[in-house]
Structure 1
């Protein structure tokens, strides 16, 4: 096992690395897992932004969004996104009612008076007083919209005041206290009045929503609302600064003590904004926040520092995971558990080792999530009951590292494994090398399973860019506490910039274990536009690294909002020098080559990079659970239509993959798989035994949601995903300029010197904004038959609407897909922001075709669609599932 660990760890550790100790006592439970710490503010942009796979995998339970028809931001409307939010895990959707106003601070920071008359049917107004406070009319309009148009009005929380202490109407408590309290009463009464006329009972209202913990204001508000009978249903404040990692628990304790002193029963708490730019997308930072909020059993929402629709910088590209998303996912995996006592070296300390422990006795699974230190960690496990775990356990430790906001993070790999480790008196200790203080770790403990527990067999290694041999480039320290947290973090706290000379290069000497194909990934930041580097291998120009643009609307994000670029390269076994260069010829820089470099990752993909999702990591619903029968110990038991298991499969590139499910049945049975909500062919097995069923299916870049069911019963051992590039021939790709164009749709060229990733240097624009302005694809070849397909659209969308002090006001453009001359959509999707009009990403639109001749039309009758570089039409499944008996 030692040898295996050595070949898969991502970096060599220093010989004298210090060790921190994290103690987890599974015998000391601290309550039911709440799971509310991964809430978001404006985490949702429009329908399907983020994708359902990202939302469901992240297990989002609460979010605050724009008021219906509000004008503060161009997207994030609660009524538009509610279906996706409530589809699986969403329980409470909050509304910032003041976001009905277009400006920040609201109404210029001044409390409105009575100068307007609102039309309650449209929300429009005239500048004429009518004897009613203007904001009360807004509150009524917003509340009425939810009451009359939502399918889940009972699951909404109304937040009438946001940061009233911070420049929004009531900053001076000594002179504005009475006004705020009177306004609270008026607004509370109006919301309840609307709810009652719709027969909806009691409307939930949250407040006060201060920028931070305000003891005096909070005491006055609680005392007043207690006496008036209009207490908040959820008590709200924000925890935004770096030091809040040290002070939050004191704030919370003070709040609970205040309730008790006033005779107020405990009120649920939601910290509706937390964290700084530096925390978003960073696993080792997020786990510190999660641990505090889970300890205190509150909901909490990541702050909205950039734009709506990417879970507050915790997703990558339209459908991908960054390191932060995997931290969200791991946290959501704890649902159904009891949390337990965790003792870090130093509680309530900024930027330090913190963790969450949980035990799920029904599934006999214990989990620890931790991060925040650059030292190695000794994890001391206590209270592993022999009644639950026996005398020997299996332990898997997975690692997720920082990949930047837009950098793709693959499925976290097992970097430390114990197979059948002895437990002495309920105790077990293991030491895990730490990659970087921004990384996080998941430790899963189960009884000994009927599968081998090993480190991940796929070879991968990485290096910090500053640790390579640099020429004409500079390493810059990125202090994680600089600027009060208003910055984006770099892996290892350092990156490489000034990469703008013809001689600029970063040379990495690396030894690979065998001859084959490798994925070379660069984590870095292109400043608002696409760009290119050359990759040399052993002094020979091998390929071009193509970067898409990254966020660069201000100095805070430019060169710091990091993404990733991936290329495939063939290498022979042995030592090579991989050289990333700003120039191919040594005399001229490549277009857009002034890109910061953060980290390089090299992964062996020769065998398709098989990635296993064992049963111990799946999510179980409806009575499905891990089983511990002899011969299938640690398999997932699924029986009946109500039961299922969910897996979140990562694809580093769009294309065909072999989805192999290993399982056991006790007799004749069935296996039913659903990918992204679409049923795959049902598999029937004639008798009992161990089997492997393989389906070749099309996956999209990023996270794909797989659901497993069986009417008659299966015990699932694992799902393994392997890239199958041979299947890609079944997909058909058509360049945008080759599409049939109608109406205003027209071909445009990109500047050849701009570094754009437009395929062939052209794209088609001016699609939509009228039902006659569309492009179409004649039916032929691989997509002539009716059925389920993926329509992969490579697109650009850099539309902005309005202005804001710090939020980029992005617009999600929509593509509506129809078939033949029909007007009923066969698929549609919204396409998120790509930072530049010449920077193209991909978004997959699931479509279901019912004819064999009707052309596939892409348009949008009401607004512009994104610019289209190329499209790929791919059957969801190719061939028939294959099932083999295994030992």
Structure 2
């Protein structure tokens, strides 16, 4: 998000002085967040761990800083940007310049096209100028033949107040015209929008009606959530939008909130936790932290000198989630997000929002045994300029399981801080490091996550079919974290219903390609395994399995991916 003063004057997003904390709850203590391990919400994809202008260069933040956060996606300015956001003295971080860093971190990005202009609000220079800019941006992307992580053209930004209706005509007509210019050059890359600053039923209905009637429907629906405490309205916005789709006979589109959190509350860890919780709970595909301040700090997760803030640790706890997001039920202002990694028997809960003594009740732990090990950690409510070198461990204890349930006290909470509750069997996780990596938790590019009873964790990745060029290449990027540098055995769980042997390309850490063969299985979503070896460095590594990818001639046949296991 940027250009703070002009936006605030138009939208009145900030009502005077910056708030010191979230609005206080009616009951500031004695509340319980309930976690139901057996009720799956969705596979873990770290919906909320994206950023607008979050990456400032190929090294800021460094790839090593980004990897533990498991970023999902970013919105970056257009190729050749001249934009000067938030007092910057020179443009930065266009999508093609930072693409390698984002790819190494296992994420994808939208290109924000109007940020080709230097100022905000944008100064319209006429249709001839705009259409020439659009052509130049698209041609620059098409020339970047090794860049695979562009998953959308964002045609405009906050047209509900930045579109120059007097000189450019209506936004709906402008959308159609711009859409058609892009599609005349690029028929493959998704188009996303309308990207309004504020969700509005009438505007969305008008926009979608025009888009349907003109054949210019966006592939991904985008709007922004920027008001203080607005997480309370997000579910209503989603429900309203889905009702519009139904009323117009439009198939469901993925939802991306590519700017979330307010100027006032951007650096309050508990507010970030609230946002993450509702974004996961109510069906966003991805969401990007708003750009109110400096580019390249992941929107305040790092200080200007590159040190972690309190909010960083909340997102790092979230980034460590694997397996499935499971149901959480808030009480009063206490809310959180939780995931269950069945391969290691870890329940990871990140919470916040209330003060005083509260608790987390975890149901569905029957398979954990008669007692569990529980660790509770905390970070303070400090802001973007305060380094927090590590979380504080508040307690580590063994708790008896009663009817599959434990209740964990989280005492002395502050309304601004964030907290983590980790629950494992009493002897600890079943493995000392993560060895099983589900394909649906990985960075899935030009393929689909599907459900199947025979898939481990209930989901797998299919439709890994594209090999034409960098826009349509299909692959799955696994981010793995191993304890030592050595050769590992990697077991791939796959399905191949073609009746003949299929192949994928295998590469890791930017190295050369080898070929993985998949003999036929009993059918699609009917899984078997094959084994290869990989030489990995200690710490984080990127492993790609691809039907198509730059510098790879392309796989043969088709195969689906369920998981990989390192041993």
1:345 aligns with 2:331: yes
Deviation at 1:355, TM superposition (A): 0.7
| Alignment match of 2:388 (pick from 409, 412, 418) | 409
| Alignment match of 1:97 (pick from 104, 110, 113) | 113
Deviation by residue 1:21-72 (Cα, 9 ceiling, x = unmatched) = 1111112222222312121111111120112122112211111111111101
| Alignment match of 1:186 (pick from 164, 177, 194) | 177
Given that residues 366 and 445 in structure 1 are in contact (C-alpha distance below 8 angstroms), is that contact kept between their aligned partners in structure 2?
A: yes
Deviation at 1:17, TM superposition (A): 8.6
1:354 aligns with 2:335: yes
Distance 2:297 2:540 in 1: 27
Aligned to 1:166: 161
Given that residues 140 and 190 in structure 1 are in contact (C-alpha distance below 8 angstroms), is that contact kept between their aligned partners in structure 2?
A: yes
Distance 2:538 2:241 in 1: 42
Residues 476-515 of structure 1: matches in 2 within 5 Å? none
Distance 2:248 2:478 in 1: 46
Deviation by residue 1:300-353 (Cα, 9 ceiling, x = unmatched) = 11111112110111112433211111111111111x42222211113xxxxx22
Residues 399-478 of structure 1: matches in 2 within 5 Å? 399-419=378-398, 421-449=399-427
Aligned to 1:143: 138
Aligned to 1:242: 228
Given that residues 147 and 153 in structure 1 are in contact (C-alpha distance below 8 angstroms), is that contact kept between their aligned partners in structure 2?
A: no
Aligned to 2:52: 41
Deviation by residue 1:542-564 (Cα, 9 ceiling, x = unmatched) = xxxxxxxxxxxxxxxxxxxxxxx
Question: Are residues 405 and 57 of structure 1, via their aligned partners in 2, closer, same or farther at CA, if it must alter by over 3 Å?
Answer: same
Aligned to 1:112: 125
Distance 1:53 1:279 in 2: 27
Distance 2:386 2:436 in 1: 31
Distance 1:179 1:153 in 2: 33
| Alignment match of 2:62 (pick from 48, 51, 54) | 51
Given that residues 211 and 238 in structure 1 are in contact (C-alpha distance below 8 angstroms), is that contact kept between their aligned partners in structure 2?
A: yes
Deviation by residue 1:731-781 (Cα, 9 ceiling, x = unmatched) = xxxxxxxxxxxxxxxxxxxxxxxxxxxxxxxxxxxxxxxxxxxxxxxxxxx
Aligned to 2:260: 274
Deviation at 1:448, TM superposition (A): 2.2
Distance 2:325 2:407 in 1: 19
Give the number of the structure whose residues are more often strand, by fraction.
Answer: 1
Aligned to 2:79: 68
Given that residues 321 and 409 in structure 1 are in contact (C-alpha distance below 8 angstroms), is that contact kept between their aligned partners in structure 2?
A: yes
**What residue ranges of structure 2 are gaps of 5+ in the alignment?**
1-26, 85-90, 440-476, 489-508, 511-536, 542-567
**What residue ranges of structure 1 are gaps of 5+ in the alignment?**
1-15, 115-132, 197-201, 347-351, 452-613, 625-641, 648-660, 664-668, 679-704, 710-887
Deviation at 1:216, TM superposition (A): 1.1
Distance 1:395 1:79 in 2: 44
Distance 2:36 2:193 in 1: 36
Residues 123-134 of structure 1: matches in 2 within 5 Å? 133-134=128-129
Deviation at 1:182, TM superposition (A): 2.4
Residues 447-846 of structure 1: matches in 2 within 5 Å? 447-449=425-427, 620=435, 645-646=480-481, 707=539
Give the number of the structure whose residues are more often helix, by fraction.
Answer: 2
Given that residues 50 and 318 in structure 1 are in contact (C-alpha distance below 8 angstroms), is that contact kept between their aligned partners in structure 2?
A: no
Distance 1:409 1:150 in 2: 40
Distance 1:621 1:338 in 2: 13
Whose radius of gyration is greater, 1 or 2? Answer: 1
Deviation by residue 1:112-144 (Cα, 9 ceiling, x = unmatched) = 325xxxxxxxxxxxxxxxxxx321111111111
What TM-score results when the alignment is normalised by the length of structure 1? 0.45
What TM-score results when the alignment is normalised by the length of structure 2? 0.69
Distance 1:17 1:217 in 2: 38
| Alignment match of 2:348 (pick from 353, 367, 377) | 367
Deviation at 1:88, TM superposition (A): 3.1
Aligned to 2:501: none
Question: Are residues 157 and 21 of structure 1, via their aligned partners in 2, closer, same or farther at CA, if it must alter by over 3 Å?
Answer: same
Deviation at 1:671, TM superposition (A): 8.5
Deviation by residue 1:619-677 (Cα, 9 ceiling, x = unmatched) = 556589xxxxxxxxxxxxxxxxx998538xxxxxxxxxxxxx7x9xxxxx9689xxxx8
Aligned to 1:287: 273
| Alignment match of 2:314 (pick from 296, 315, 327) | 327
Question: Are residues 245 and 308 of structure 1, via their aligned partners in 2, closer, same or farther at CA, if it must alter by over 3 Å?
Answer: same
Given that residues 67 and 96 in structure 1 are in contact (C-alpha distance below 8 angstroms), is that contact kept between their aligned partners in structure 2?
A: yes
Cα RMSD for the two superposed structures: 2.9
Q: Any idea what SS the aligned residue of 2:372 has?
A: strand
